Chain A
Amino acid sequence: MATIPETLAYEGQKKRTLVDMNWDPITRIVGSLGIFTKIDFENREVAECYSTSSIFRGYSIFMKGKDPRDAHFITSRICGICGDNHATCAVYAQNMAFGVRPPALAEWIINLGEAAEYMFDHNIFQDNLVGVDFCEQMVKETNPGVWDKAQSTASPNADKHGYRTIADIMTSLNPFTGTFYRETLAMSRLTREMFCLMEGRHVHPSTLYPGGVGTVATIQLFTDYLVRLMKYVEFMKKVVPLHDDLFDFFYEALPGYEKVGLRRTLLACWGSYNDPDHCDYQYKNMDAWGKKMFVTPGIVVDGKLVTNNLVDINRNIRILLGSSYYEDWQGKETFVKKDPLGNPIDQNHPWNQTTTPRPQKRDFNGNYTWVMSPRWYDERTGDHLALDTGGGPIARLWSTALSGLVDINYVKATGHSVKINLPKTALLPEVEFEWKIPQWSNAIERDRARTYFQAYAAATALHFVEKALSELHAGRTATWSEFKVPDEAIGCGFHEAVRGVLSHHVVIRDGKIANYHPYPPTPWNANPRDIYGTPGPYEDAVQNTPIFEENGPDKFKGIDIMRAVRSFDPCLPCGVHMYVGDGRTIEVKHSPMFGAAGHE
């Protein structure tokens, strides 16, 4: 990285020496992300940060005029690690627009596929990508003092996972040579096999359709899935305590580490796993069936649930410009003036967005990213909230816990926690994990929630297998319902991509796509300052990050910044652009993955 010392005087502040530290690209995420910072090593803080990413593809543009039935095949290609989340979300939007309700069995199959995706993706990201930031090699290079302490710190849960000291855990995370690294890589294949059983192919599914799935539902299908699932359940009994030990150790070894990646709690979750007993895909009933999802939608501000009504969530989404390479669409067509319940729909809502790219030179004082700024309009205050997803799990668990609605055999939301019950497996007895609402929305808690959500996904999958088999045993084997594509319609889908909120909005005219805008999690997390000057979530997170790394400028790796950024699970195909102003302003922009959509 280039290191160019420079002395700056800020008004009313003491002079300080800032060093340019740049990382471009940020690896071990999906997509091109560059981070440009100025670091004040004397005061051990990040003074400025620009994050930039550089890909535009144009989905919203080339989808215009295409057959609406093709939407899920096309939008799957937005993302190479959670493409199936897009395909699923697109199918939800198609189902609404086409007025079709798939057979229950199809919904259980999709839920099983999506559960496998969560199990796979969190697993590989946590322990093969994020885990490297916590591995022996990295800790030795960045914090030799922490490595020394790790060697003499016994793992509190050693009896559950087998690693005697924290240092042993770190060694097991070394890339390729570490035993746990290789074990998780192998497990990421088993879970992808489970995924392929339900959705055909990973990561772009072959068997999803509007109206249901093409998967042939047989006893063998669910047996093949269940046998693999139980191996993962047993694996979780080791993985959750292992991560608790590792993450608790960082709080202990580095007092103040809770400030790494810390930001105000502004979390968004759009809900996951439809319940076919309730979900009819009709917009007018969306509040009711949204609350029956097996991950409850919700917006959490300062620890309080603002709403868990999907209709309210939907109508208050706003897409803003401010620092992005696009033309404004205020004068352009308004596709949807009112939703089917009669609520007015804003011109900045995804249904009404028009994407017009304008490529230009990158200018950190002007426009510097292909990502737009998604916001949620809070009617109580008039604020456009820069919600984040915290990489997915922390928002899902927090929202589900507060609503207290999910209560199935294996999972119970209590109002302040989520209890996850894993049954007996080959070698281990029954285990209950409880994820409790944490004190902070920070890097460590985002990472910890990821591990708990892996167990949550496995637990829900057990429920879905039971429900699917009961359909099969009752002789209800159909997996697809017929439909007709209407000439004029609108639709929306709400889902949780692995790393957070995902929505697809479609407008159909003359039987073709007239407008289509997907909004995945990364644009929510990594966007730039909007037109009101509100910074995106990364800004807060990076701005509050102190430097704990022991290296000076010469060997600086930026590990604390890396842990803060990776805790959001930046999505591969999304570029991230981050701009951190003068020590107070941190702006991150992320170019979402796709093209068209807004980000992209």
Chain B
Amino acid sequence: MAEKASTLTKAPAVSDIHIVWITAGLGCDGDSVSITAAEQPSIEDVLLGAIPGLPKVHLHNPVLAYENGADFLKFYYDAEKGLLDPFVLVVEGSIPNEKIKEEGYWAAVGTNPETGQPITTCEWIDRLAPKALAVIGAGTCATYGGIHAMAGNPTGCMGLADYLGWDWRSKAGLPIVNVPGCPVQPDNFMETVLYLLYQVAGLAPMIPLDKQLRPTWLFGKTVHEGCDRGSYYEQGDFAQNYGSSKCLVKLGCWGPVVDCNVTKRGWMRGIGGCPNVGGICIGCTMPGFPDKFMPFMDEPPGGTLSSTIIGTYGRMIRTLRGITNTTLNKEPKWRHSRPELTTGYHPTTY
């Protein structure tokens, strides 16, 4: 018992670790806001050392930082110089293509003291990624490009792996870790951070990722596989109007073919989500988002075929289940107030 307990209570392999966060991609900061909603673990759980086994964590996120301006930016410069080792780099927002124009910038933070011009987000990634122990893409913009990378966009923006290369490895040998979602589901992100901290502390093996670089335990199932409306689908019973509690596939839900756990996990404390609470799945965790899912409110092309096939079977099943259900809604006939016992027991003493 004592030995088992020590796994989490022994000193971590590193005593301190920094999280250096860049929100200056083309995004909305919604992922930073999202993580303040997390409770499993919460940001303060991690920062105040409420979780056993972790190194001391120092977070440098512009939305939450006490420091301003140069006092804040010093963390970026220090990380670049190797003074914040080890650190995890988090990138939020899609990465614009700064090479497609002659001058100016699409996204930047801080000012280059030599030129007086803004330092582009791309330059910061170039400076910091090679020094980081691990790089995390937070949200669909940073992971795959997202909304701002939609067809017709003027900035040519892309995801982190498109920018650094899908085979990119950190100096510690880790691939980019993608936690998609628009925004990222709060606990999905914090749990991934927690896993990486455990890995850094020597308490967990290499983080398991799928081909799209997502943690497999979070993105290994489809929305539909976790959806509490899946049984309506099975019974061929489809919502015809928004606001119905039935399966939404005919109203634009892509859940059957989208990798995401939101229907299992909900949004916060199991509350909210997408198709489970009446919101069609628009595929926001997917590399093909948003274009391959638009127009969002039309039935997915494959939906007609699959729902027609399931329709015949489902209607039959539903009918049969209805009959059984009616039976089950009746109490057995031996429960009555008549002056006789009909349960099958034959008393000999009364």
Q: Which residues of A contact B (CB under 8 A)?
A: 1-2, 22-32, 34-36, 52, 54-58, 61-62, 64-67, 69-70, 73-74, 77-81, 83, 106, 124, 128-129, 132, 137-138, 175-177, 182, 185, 188-189, 192-193, 196-197, 200-207, 209, 211-217, 224, 325, 357-362, 477-480, 482, 557-558, 562, 572-573, 593, 595
Contact B267–A80 (Cβ < 8 Å): no
| B109 surroundings in chain A (CB, below 8 A) | 24-25, 32, 54
Known contacts: A61-B153, A185-B44. The answer to whether A34 contacts B111 by CB under 8 A is yes
Q: How many residues of B contact A (CB 8 A)?
A: 80
Q: Closest CB-CB distance, B293 to chain A, in whole Å? A: 9
Contact A205–B279 (Cβ < 8 Å): yes
| B217 surroundings in chain A (CB, below 8 A) | none
Contact B279–A58 (Cβ < 8 Å): no
Q: How far is A197 from B113 in the complex, measured between Cα atoms in Å?
A: 48
Is B73 among interface residues, defined by CB-CB distance under 8 A? yes
20 A-B pairs (CB sep. < 8 Å)? A25-B109, A32-B23, A34-B111, A56-B26, A61-B152, A79-B28, A80-B27, A80-B30, A129-B63, A175-B64, A193-B268, A200-B273, A201-B274, A205-B279, A206-B277, A206-B280, A216-B245, A216-B277, A478-B241, A562-B68
Q: How far is A34 from B109 in the complex, measured between Cα atoms in Å?
A: 8
| A56 surroundings in chain B (CB, below 8 A) | 26, 106-107, 154-155
Is B126 among interface residues, defined by CB-CB distance under 8 A? no
* Stretch from B9-17, B32-40, B312-320, B324-332 forming part of the interface with A: B32-40
Known contacts: A24-B69, A201-B274. The answer to whether A57 contacts B148 by CB under 8 A is yes
Q: Give 9 new A-B contacts, CB below 8 A, not counting A34-B111, A67-B295.
A: A34-B110, A56-B26, A62-B154, A73-B290, A196-B272, A200-B274, A359-B106, A360-B103, A562-B68
Contact of B104 among A74, A182, A359, A478 (CB under 8 A): A359
CB-CB nearest 6 A-B residue pairs: A206-B279, A80-B30, A196-B272, A23-B69, A359-B104, A214-B278
Is B234 among interface residues, defined by CB-CB distance under 8 A? no
Q: Closest CB-CB distance, A209 to chain B, in whole Å? A: 5
| B166 surroundings in chain A (CB, below 8 A) | none
Is B164 among interface residues, defined by CB-CB distance under 8 A? no
Q: How far is A31 from B63 in the complex, measured between Cα atoms in Å?
A: 8
| B24 surroundings in chain A (CB, below 8 A) | 25, 32, 54-55
| B148 surroundings in chain A (CB, below 8 A) | 57-58, 62, 77, 595
**Chain B 177-193 against A: per-residue CB contact (8 Å), 1 yes, 0 no?**
00000110000000000
Q: How far is A361 from B102 in the complex, measured between Cα atoms in Å?
A: 10
| B284 surroundings in chain A (CB, below 8 A) | 204
Contact B152–A67 (Cβ < 8 Å): no
Contact B182–A192 (Cβ < 8 Å): no
B269-301 residues with Cβ-Cβ distance < 8 A to A are 269, 271-274, 277-280, 282, 284, 290, 294-297
Contact B117–A593 (Cβ < 8 Å): no
Contact B271–A28 (Cβ < 8 Å): no
Contact A203–B30 (Cβ < 8 Å): yes
| A200 surroundings in chain B (CB, below 8 A) | 267, 272-274, 277-279
| B37 surroundings in chain A (CB, below 8 A) | 188-189, 192, 202
Q: How far is A480 from B155 in the complex, measured between Cα atoms in Å?
A: 37
Contact of A77 among B28, B73, B271, B272 (CB under 8 A): B28
Known contacts: A30-B29, A73-B296, A573-B28. The answer to whether A24 contacts B111 by CB under 8 A is yes
Contact A193–B103 (Cβ < 8 Å): no
Q: Closest CB-CB distance, A77 to chain B, in whole Å? A: 4
Is B237 among interface residues, defined by CB-CB distance under 8 A? no
Q: How far is A482 from B239 in the complex, measured between Cα atoms in Å?
A: 13
Is B259 among interface residues, defined by CB-CB distance under 8 A? no
Contact of A55 among B62, B107, B116, B296 (CB under 8 A): B107
Contact B243–A80 (Cβ < 8 Å): no
Known contacts: A55-B107, A193-B271, A205-B279. The answer to whether A74 contacts B290 by CB under 8 A is yes
Q: How far is A170 from B28 in the complex, measured between Cα atoms in Å?
A: 30
Contact of B280 among A62, A197, A204, A214 (CB under 8 A): A214
Contact of A79 among B30, B108, B273, B296 (CB under 8 A): B30
Is B206 among interface residues, defined by CB-CB distance under 8 A? no
Contact B279–A203 (Cβ < 8 Å): no
Q: How far is A138 from B67 in the complex, measured between Cα atoms in Å?
A: 10
Contact of A62 among B27, B152, B244 (CB under 8 A): B152
A-B contacts, CB under 8 A, total: 285
Q: Closest CB-CB distance, A159 to chain B, in whole Å? A: 29
Is B5 among interface residues, defined by CB-CB distance under 8 A? no
Contact of A80 among B31, B66, B241, B282 (CB under 8 A): B31
Contact of B63 among A478, A482, A572 (CB under 8 A): A572
Is B247 among interface residues, defined by CB-CB distance under 8 A? no
Interface on chain B toward A: helix, strand, loop, or mixed SS? loop
Contact of A27 among B39, B67, B106 (CB under 8 A): B67
Contact of B153 among A31, A58, A192, A201 (CB under 8 A): A58
Q: Closest CB-CB distance, B220 to chain A, in whole Å? A: 21
Q: Closest CB-CB distance, A190 to chain B, in whole Å? A: 9
Contact A213–B243 (Cβ < 8 Å): yes
Contact A62–B271 (Cβ < 8 Å): no
| A362 surroundings in chain B (CB, below 8 A) | 104-105, 116-118
**Chain B 253-268 against A: per-residue CB contact (8 Å), 1 yes, 0 no?**
0000000001000111
Q: How far is A182 from B30 in the complex, measured between Cα atoms in Å?
A: 20
Q: How far is A255 from B137 in the complex, measured between Cα atoms in Å?
A: 48
Known contacts: A23-B69, A362-B118. The answer to whether A207 contacts B33 by CB under 8 A is no
Is B160 among interface residues, defined by CB-CB distance under 8 A? no
Contact of B27 among A177, A205, A325, A573 (CB under 8 A): A573
Contact B101–A359 (Cβ < 8 Å): yes
Q: How far is A196 from B274 in the complex, measured between Cα atoms in Å?
A: 10
Contact A69–B104 (Cβ < 8 Å): no
Q: Closest CB-CB distance, A132 to chain B, in whole Å? A: 6
Q: How far is A354 from B31 in the complex, measured between Cα atoms in Å?
A: 30
Known contacts: A34-B111, A200-B278. The answer to whether A214 contacts B39 by CB under 8 A is no
Contact B274–A80 (Cβ < 8 Å): no
Q: How far is A384 from B297 in the complex, measured between Cα atoms in Å?
A: 40
Q: How far is A210 from B101 in the complex, measured between Cα atoms in Å?
A: 38
| B116 surroundings in chain A (CB, below 8 A) | 362
Which A residue sits closest to B147, measured CB to CB? A77
Contact of B154 among A58, A81, A137 (CB under 8 A): A58
Is B132 among interface residues, defined by CB-CB distance under 8 A? no
| B32 surroundings in chain A (CB, below 8 A) | 30, 80, 572
Contact of B70 among A23, A203, A209 (CB under 8 A): A23
Q: How far is A212 from B297 in the complex, measured between Cα atoms in Å?
A: 13
B56-94 residues with Cβ-Cβ distance < 8 A to A are 62-73
Q: How far is A138 from B294 in the complex, measured between Cα atoms in Å?
A: 48
Q: How far is A357 from B103 in the complex, measured between Cα atoms in Å?
A: 12
Which A residue sits closest to B182, measured CB to CB? A204
Is B150 among interface residues, defined by CB-CB distance under 8 A? yes
Contact A209–B297 (Cβ < 8 Å): yes
